[in-house]
Homo-oligomer: A and B are copies of this chain.
Amino acid sequence: MQVSVIGSGAEHEARAEEVGRLLAERGCTVVTGGLGEVMAAAARGAKSVGGTTIGILPGESSAAANEWIDHYVVTGIGHARNFAVAASGDAVIAVGGSWGTLAEIAFAKLLGRPVVILEPGWELEGFERVATPEDAVEHVLTAL
């Protein structure tokens, strides 16, 4: 099972790390965009308990991957790789985030992937919203 953790914002790193750790403990591979902040924190959390991480990078070099990425995918397609980040998760957890995250949320819904927004996050109608990393992970595992 692969779960994508999407988002941005340094203030959300602690919760993203917890999400990554909990996913790995439940046997899920953690997929992210491979760069910093929320992406790095989620991967760090997964690695802290021996999990597996995939980073889907926007640029043309693997050197941009954060140090907690096990397997890098070098897409070279910039922000359009957000589609692949959303699509490569059997489910998606959003932690904070800005416009790029909103695009990923939209793509995940378009594809019918289960999506949960960890508060605080994007205010959108029709989404499951949860208050804690535990609830986020429980929610997507139940949906899968």
Contact = CB atoms under 8 A, between A and B. Distances in A.
Interface stretch (A17-25, A79-87, A128-136): A79-87
A141 interface: no
A111 interface: yes
A75 B83 contact: yes
Contacts of A109: 99
User: How many copies of this chain sit in the oligomeric assembly?
Assistant: 4
A99 B88 contact: no
A125 B121 CA distance: 13
A35 to B, nearest CB: 14
A60 interface: yes
Nearest to A108: B99
A100 interface: yes
Interface in A79-119: 79-80, 82-84, 87-88, 90, 98-100, 102-103, 105-107, 109-111
